[in-house]
Amino acid sequence: MRPDEFLRALHLLPAPLHAHALPLRRYVHRTTCADCQRIGDAVTLALTAAKYDELDSAGELLDTAEQLATVHGTACRPQPDEQRGRGRVGRWAAASAPVVAATDASWKGRAGGIAYVVSDGHYGLRGRGTGRLDPTGASRVLINELRAVDFLLSAYEEAPAGMTVLLDSTVALRWLRRWQVGEVSAMPAGYSLRQRRWADRPTLVRLADQVSRRPDLSFAHVKGHSGHALNEAADGLSHVARRRVEETFDVGPRAHALVGAFLHDWHAALPH
């Protein structure tokens, strides 16, 4: 259950059940902990029961969830959902043209967003807040530009051979090219190499290793805000992802329509 779905369901509850369910919100997320999952399932079932006016059942389920939470203690850290925020415009799945992708990042205040769009219809967007290991200033922006490239490559079991990846950040482009020629130990200033609790390696360490093993991938510069269809699409998605960190709205239809429109322009402009 997404956070916005939980909040909508929560608002439908009578005041006593609302107060009962709110502290259990932290358990309604994807996790590898079986206990947290049982608590979250009980809360979700309670909200479903309340939706159909089965308030007694909802109360019993919340009691069960609360008892399980008391035994278990603090909710465990959420597990990242690698598929969340990704989609595909199926119309372009069989396109025969070379595969071209664009990535971008957006940052304002303490909220950021990363995104990618691919000529074969794949796209993704993900919002993020400031992490305790994140640097500040220009390094923060650079690191998120590179995270967007990792987000793109992780969309595939193996990225298409010969794919071209377009970036509007020349600094990020230089780092990718350094890694591609084997300088994988070099990292941007301020990037922490401390062990992450949610991944076996830091994102950019993983990206550097992957890029070094893919000499067939091309990384190229595209001028931002110049009307390039793929870059404009990635830019738009990254802004949507950033706004979604602080606002509540349905991302899916908006993202799909945006990507569909820009991919139509991209393919229409290709020589036939």
Same domain, 141 and 194: yes
Tens-digit pLDDT profile for residues 45-55: 988 888 888 88
Rounded Cα distance, 232 and 32, in Å:
37
Give the relative orientation of helices 34-51 and 3-11 as an angle to the nearest 10 degrees. Answer: 40
Residue 54, domain member (yes or no)? yes
Rounded Cα distance, 256 and 122, in Å:
10
What's the confidence (pLDDT) of residue 1?
A: 54
Tens-digit pLDDT profile for residues 122-133: 999 999 887 777
What's the confidence (pLDDT) of residue 85?
A: 87
What's the confidence (pLDDT) of residue 249?
A: 84
Same domain, 62 and 90: no
Same domain, 10 and 91: no
What does the block give as tokens for 154?
């992780």
Rounded Cα distance, 228 and 234, in Å:
10
What's the confidence (pLDDT) of residue 81?
A: 46
What's the confidence (pLDDT) of residue 99?
A: 95
What's the confidence (pLDDT) of residue 61?
A: 92
Same domain, 145 and 249: yes
What value does the mean pLDDT of the chain take? 88
Q: End of a domain among 42, 72, 102?
A: 72
Evaluate if residue 2 carries a pLDDT over 60: no
- Domain with 14, as residue range(s), is 3-72
CA distances from 156 to 14, 81, 118, 120, 252 (A): 45, 15, 11, 12, 20
Q: What is the DSSP string of 45-99?
A: HHHHHHHTT-HHHHHHHHHHHHHHHHHH-SPPPPPP-TTTTEEE-GGGTT--SPP
Tens-digit pLDDT profile for residues 200-233: 789 999 999 999 999 999 999 999 999 999 999 9
Higher pLDDT, 76 or 209: 209
What pLDDT band is residue 80 in, cutting at 50, 70 and 90? very low
Residue 30, domain member (yes or no)? yes
Residue 119, domain member (yes or no)? yes
Higher pLDDT, 135 or 54: 54
Residue 139, domain member (yes or no)? yes
Same domain, 59 and 95: no
Tens-digit pLDDT profile for residues 97-112: 889 999 999 988 888 9
